[in-house]
Structure 1
Amino acid sequence: MELWIAFTIFAAAAQTLRFALQKALGATGLSPGGATFARFLFAAPLATGAAFVLYRQTGVALPFPDLPFFGFVLVGGVAQIIATELTVRLMGLRSFATGIAFTKTEVLQVAVASALILGETVSGPAALSMAIGFAGLVCLSFPAGRTAAFEGRPVAFGLAAGGLFAVAAICYRGATLSLEPAPFLLRALLALAAATVMQSVIMAVWLVLREPGEIRRVLQGWRRTGPVGITGLLGSLGWFAAFSLQNAAYVRALGQVEVIFTLLFSTFYFREKLGLRELTGVLLVSLCVIFLVLEGV
């Protein structure tokens, strides 16, 4: 199995757990902004420390981060902040599994953005696989027993979150590529550290101005908010490592396996029931994932 595939599957599993933990934060009284802040606050020092340790261990000459690197990190970081908060709000409107499914329009959006921004296109068979996976996601977006699944507010949140996650994915790949020829894992950690530090600062300023007292609640609830940051760090490390090795469109297409993990989590942890449409969606997404793994693109 190619490394980017292993990192992507690991990232999808970690992100599923993080979203579940983040959803549970709603019961603690934290706002969506507070839950989003927790995602970055605890990850920033860990990512920075890991990058420093790996740099000392490898002893390689570190390329100096240039303006494009910081530009990619800033745009990607802000896009991820907004997308994460939209996802938290979306999960409050719909079931856990369906809320995540709406954001997965990112799979098609990232393929288009990757071609436009980085000039990286996908093969015909891979594009067909992505389309099959997207069809599965459309099936998953219909809750059982309802015919009018595409309501304005959830769809708007989902499409916006998907588009912003796509922008973040492209920018993070651009950031890791700008640090070549450093080892891929060091590039991933440096980009991750820069992004999470920047995101923590931005979110802290926002919360101080708009939601006074929310930072204190995040820190006081560290037993619940800390695991969100740690699982977020693990997931992000997987994504960044995969982005440093492969076209972001392929990474995000394979990352659809997260939907399967989410459905399993929804069924066995949140006790949400799955209908025929959900099972059909799982089958289609699984076909997409299997194709990409076998091809290795």
Structure 2
Amino acid sequence: MTASLLWIPVTLAAAAAQTGRNATQRRLTETIGTVGATQVRFLYGFPFALLALAAVSLVTGETMPHPNAAFLAYVLSGALTQILATALMLSAMRERAFSVVTAYTKTEPVQVALFGLVLLGDTLTPAASLAIAVATAGVVLMSVKPGAGLTSSGLKPVVFGLASGAFFALAAIGFRGAILSLEAGSPLIRASTTLAWGLGLQTAILIAWLGLFDRKALVGSFAAWCPSLGAGFLGALASQFWFIGFALTTAANVRTLALVEVLMAQAVSHRFLAQATTKREVAGMLLILGGVALLLLSHR
């Protein structure tokens, strides 16, 4: 495989690791709540990010690139918008509109493409643009139940879901911008450096926030350190692969291929939760696969 196509297996690995992390975090919500389970992604992922950066530096012989003003601005924007995106997503889910939230947050690839074009100058071919639209339509079809419209649960979860997808898109653009703004180093060392900075900032921000406003969740996340380590490791592993992908190609390509995570989550639900797959979900999965196939063909 040529270097230009390495983003494909890297993104697939990231999606697989994230599916595992989500399953682990879902179990943690039962013991430390939603906020506490969310913050372990950053708190327990940060040490693994530092270890990954040290390992990459040792293996490649490269030193950590010196951060500049543009890097710091991009990585801080990525860290903050990712936290905001998660908070908005959780707020929407509290409205008991999980399917609608999923449909709107997974409009992220479309928004990533738009933000990437405006903010970073990342252009897409017509085939890649069509692939994004087809795959996103598949997610919407899978997420919305028959007879229920996208606004049937009220306007609030729709607004929160769309805003969440927008902030997730801005986070992807922020982190890709940070990687590209580093002036020296291979894609691997630049991605690892950005990840360590990003998780470090997010850890500091969330510890300060929880310490002021939700000490119970903070104490709970420390008490449940054993299962949280697994979530932190998988989260850092997924982010490491996401960031390498961002270093190799546009964020829109990465986030569109990442929609295979929806299929992986469906497989987990079917295998371990004994949830049946409906015809509507099958049609949605076929659209996702068709969009992903079109995306990959556009890069041949």
- Under TM normalisation by the shorter chain, which class is it? over 0.9
Contact 1:23 1:88 in 2 (8 A): no
The equivalent position to 1:228 in structure 2, one of 227, 231, 239, is 231
Mapped to 2, the partners of 1:57 and 1:275 lie a distance apart of: 47
What's the offset of the Cα at 1:61?
5.3
Mapped to 1, the partners of 2:88 and 2:27 lie a distance apart of: 16
Q: Which residue number in structure 2 is paired with residue 148 of structure 1?
A: 149
The equivalent position to 2:70 in structure 1, one of 49, 68, 71, is 68
The equivalent position to 2:25 in structure 1, one of 17, 22, 25, is 22
Correspondence 1:102-113 to 2 at 5 A = 102-113=104-115
CA RMSD, 1 decimal: 2.0
What's the offset of the Cα at 1:93?
5.2
Paired residues, what number? 295
The amino acid of 1:78's aligned partner reads L
Q: 2:207 matched to 1:210?
A: no
Mapped to 1, the partners of 2:156 and 2:148 lie a distance apart of: 16
Mapped to 2, the partners of 1:6 and 1:26 lie a distance apart of: 30
Contact 2:179 2:194 in 1 (8 A): yes
What's the offset of the Cα at 1:168?
0.6
What's the offset of the Cα at 1:15?
1.2
What's the offset of the Cα at 1:201?
0.3
The equivalent position to 1:176 in structure 2, one of 179, 183, 187, is 179
The amino acid of 2:148's aligned partner reads T
What runs of 5+ residues in structure 1 fail to find an aligned partner? none
The equivalent position to 1:80 in structure 2, one of 64, 79, 82, is 82
Q: Which residue number in structure 2 is paired with residue 49 of structure 1?
A: 51
Taking structure 1 as the reference length, the TM-score comes to: 0.92
Closer, same or farther in 2 for the Cα pair 1:180/1:6, shift >3 Å?
Answer: farther
Mapped to 2, the partners of 1:146 and 1:43 lie a distance apart of: 40
Secondary structure in structure 1 of the residue aligned to 2:16? helix
Closer, same or farther in 2 for the Cα pair 1:218/1:174, shift >3 Å?
Answer: same
The equivalent position to 1:240 in structure 2, one of 223, 238, 243, is 243
Q: Which residue number in structure 1 is paired with residue 37 of structure 2?
A: 35
Q: Which residue number in structure 1 is paired with residue 279 of structure 2?
A: 276
Q: Which residue number in structure 2 is paired with residue 252 of structure 1?
A: 255
